[in-house]
Amino acid sequence: MAKELIIVESPAKVKTIKKFLGAKYDVKASLGHVRDLPGSSLGVDENNNYAPRYQIIEEREKVVEGLKSAAAKATTIYLAPDPDREGEAIAWHIAEILKDSTKADIKRIQFNEITARAVREALEHPRGLNNDLFEAQQARRVLDRLVGYKISPLLWDKVKRGISAGRVQSVALRQIVEREKARMAFVPEEYWPFHATLDAGAKPEFRTELTKVGGKKAAIKNETQAKELEKKIRAGSFTVSGLQVKQREKTPPPPFITSTLQQNANQRLGYTAKRTMSVAQRLYEGLDLGERGTTALITYMRTDSVRIADEARQQAREFITATWGKDYYPARPRLYKTKGSAQDAHEAVRPVDASITPDSLKGAVTAEQYNLYRLIWNRFLASQMAGAKVEDTVVTAECAGSEWRAKGERILFPGFLTLTPQKEDGNEDLPPLKQGQDLKLVKLEKEQKFTQPPARFNEASLVKTLEEEGIGRPSTYASIISTLQDRDYVRLVEKSFTPTDLGVVVSDLLSEHFSTLMDVGFTAGMEESLDKVAEGEQDWVALLNGFAEKFNPALAQAAKAMKTVKGGIPAGVDCPDCGKPMQVKFGKAGPFLACSGYPDCRCTRNFSRDEQGAVQIEEKQPEEARVMGKCPLCGKDLYLKKSRTGSRFIACSGYPACKHAEPFSTGVICPKCGEGRMVEKSSRRGKIFYSCERYPNCDYAVWDFPVKKPCPACGSPILVKKFTRGKHLLSCPNKECKYKEEVPGQE
């Protein structure tokens, strides 16, 4: 029986949509992109208007065959990938593939939320494919391919084989590198802040900060000045010299867009941008909520618009007034203005149904899904609530020609703060005070401090900078950050990004030879040009021609002039064995120090850098004491060792004369192929995992230590060790199986 076919991107969407559409519709998933540029060649004909040579992605061949088969039986085909440029490109490629396999009409539909109302409304108002949106995505893809495929071989030749460059990622890398250089060049200055705790004769005591001395801004620069001032203050008396009381209204922030969601999730939940987008994707596509069935919880999460639909605003009004009362809803509905550079095609990120409270989802969703949904739900409802009425009090006290200040805040009406409580830094709880009132000094504190260098970027501040500078688009921030880490150009140290030596070298070389490409203004301008392509105001081929006019000559010049650093870069320290200069070299496992006197001197060392960037040689570690057997090649002892990224391996004690090495085996046979052993490995970021030794012939892997014990629930040949909430567990590695058992803690 012929059906109408709807093609979405993910299987999760299929399940959600099937719940409220009848048997008239067949719903299939493309699993994302089905065609792309080839992986082994440039795939762009520069002499023919940059014509891309697309091919079906190998992993999608069976999916494509299934779509063709379904399309051949369909009366109408609705292409329903995500409502953005990437989604439009996916739809365009599917249409190109299916047009020779079916006589059905091919139409494009889109929806900002996966609800019965939104999907049915989309089906009632289909449109054709938007060629402008597709060409904007295609222009970005070709631009990134030209940069990546042309600069990366140059870096292979000059720096290290296997590394690469990206058009937007390289500019983001430069921000991190320049911040680190500013930190290294920073010269700290001494200063002495003073605080006085005062008693007004009524509780509470309150703490003031020194702001002026002799009518000028306080600037106590050394201990001598600090002691002189302290003496004067202790000999003097405090009096209230100023008292200002003002009322103001705090207004709520707008609902989330992609960038602010990523920032807040990082600051409040500690989630990376990548994790935030992954969890949000599940909330958008739909989750199994038991009696409710599969339900989509939030609107589309890739947006830079703060606009919300009228029906969502009305729903919020009803919920707010029913829950907190009419006073908690503003006299006029709140409307937020989207930035001029933002795309206003989608709504802000909000709950699909405000009546589905976070607490109602407890036990039905995972902890991270609950946490992110609560963040989005609270922000949306707060954005529609009445402002908070606040009374600010600023008290000024004088003592011996110095001025001290404290600020207090009193909430008169909480408004939106009922949902998102907050207290401004530096606010004190103040007692009743009067002008001219004498105050008693309870405690005088002074402290030697030094000015601090600019802070390193964390995920939230980096996303904020990328947005402010126009580097990439909110939907790309997570992939930008992940790519920089995967390439080992930056590392996350104590939740802040630190560039590696490799990252600094790559950034400096690219900045020197591709100054335009690495310029923030140029990158932001390119994003604006791509927006114009999407709006039909810019020809995508002309855009690429303009880019090539500057890029190709720079590439040719760089090929001639870029210096090679494969031999290493000066480390600024001498070899501990022979005294010759050491060099930083870039090996497969990361940077290390090697003597410039090689091969006469074979000294190598690990190293670190201090706050000023100076190399600190790490002492050579003694050989591991744990003997793991005899070497099959030379008969010497095998030692258990650790790689630079943290995984254990076994190597011959006769190295370098004998180079035998093997991975550390868990002794567990791979449950997928039944042949290889599960061995310990580590990712580029240093995270330990366990995979089949027959990789790439077998790609089975788990993050936790495998144990040879069948799962009593599903029959999996292995379980894995976990430590969660203070408990040692054995759990099933199959995601569909929830089996776990508590076991005694063991190393």
Measured distance CA(11)–CA(650) in Å, rounded? 42
**How far is the first Cα of the chain from the last one, in angstroms, to the nearest whole number?**
60
Neighbours of 20 (CB within 10 A): 15
Between the alpha carbon of residue 498 and those of residues 22, 51, 273, the distances in Å are 53, 39, 17
The 3-class SS string of 654-676 reads CCCCCCCEEECEEEEECCCCCCC
Measured distance CA(457)–CA(178) in Å, rounded? 11
Q: Is the peptide bond before 656 cis (omega within 30 degrees of 0)?
A: yes
DSSP assignment of 495-519, as one string? Answer: TEEEE-HHHHHHHHHHHHH-TTTT-
Look up residue 161 and give its amino acid: R
Measured distance CA(348)–CA(301) in Å, rounded? 8
Q: With contact defined as beta carbons under 8 Å apart, do 496 and 457 qualify?
A: yes
The residues, any chain, with a CB within 8 Å of residue 137's CB and separated by 6 or more, are 85, 86, 88, 89
β-strand 3-8 against 74-79: which pairing, if any?
parallel
* Burial of residue 355 (number of CB atoms within 10 Å: 0-12, 13-18, 19+): exposed
Look at residues 453, 459, 456, 494 and name the one whose alpha carbon lies nearest to residue 480. 459
What is the SS3 assignment for 584? strand
Measured distance CA(352)–CA(358) in Å, rounded? 12
The residues, any chain, with a CB within 8 Å of residue 538's CB and separated by 6 or more, are 529, 532
Q: Which residue has the tokens 């989608």?
A: 346
Measured distance CA(156)–CA(152) in Å, rounded? 6
Neighbours of 462 (CB within 10 A): 27
Alpha-helix runs per DSSP H in 159-214: 169-185
* Burial of residue 518 (number of CB atoms within 10 Å: 0-12, 13-18, 19+): buried
Q: Is the peptide bond before 204 cis (omega within 30 degrees of 0)?
A: yes
Q: Which two tokens stand for residue 391?
A: 């009374």
Residue 300 annotated as catalytic: yes
Between the alpha carbon of residue 691 and those of residues 152, 218, 726, 727, the distances in Å are 29, 61, 26, 25
β-strand 490-493 against 706-707: which pairing, if any?
unpaired
User: To 10 degrees, the CA torsion angle through 543, 544, 549, 553?
Assistant: 150
Catalytic entry in 54, 78, 284, 300 = 300
Q: Active-site residue numbers?
A: 300
